[in-house]
């Protein structure tokens, strides 16, 4: 290979890596949005559970015998 073809191959390789980085960053952003949505859902459900427990009592009780827990 001569220098020109090596430089061209390296430029193509760098461009492909840049595209991969852009794709990974976009995926990371999507995952962060999903995590934020799930956190909100968990918070809303936790709030509803607290309201229910304050009205009707405890929903989830720990087992008395630890060996029966799975």
Spatial separation of the C-alpha atoms in residues 31 and 46, rounded to whole Å: 22
How much is the pLDDT for 45? 96
Cβ-based neighbours of 59, under 8 Å, separated by 6 or more: 49, 52, 53
Q: What is the pLDDT of residue 1?
A: 65
pTM recorded for the entire structure: 0.65
Tens of pLDDT along 8-64? 999 999 999 999 999 999 999 999 999 999 999 999 999 999 999 999 888 777 767
Element (DSSP H or E) covering residue 67 = none
Q: d(Cα 59, Cα 65) in Å, to the nearest integer?
A: 18
Q: Which of 3-7, 33-37, 47-51, 65-69 has the lowest mean pLDDT?
A: 65-69
User: What integer pLDDT is reported at residue 68 of this predicted model?
Assistant: 60
């Amino acid at each position: 290979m001569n220098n020109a073809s090596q430089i061209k191959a390296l430029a193509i390789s760098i461009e492909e890596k840049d595209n991969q980085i852009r794709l990974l960053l976009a995926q990371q952003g999507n995952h962060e949005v999903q995590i934020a949505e799930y956190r909100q859902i968990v918070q809303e459900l936790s709030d509803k559970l607290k309201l229910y427990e304050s009205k009707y009592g405890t929903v989830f009780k720990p087992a008395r015998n630890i060996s029966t827990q799975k």
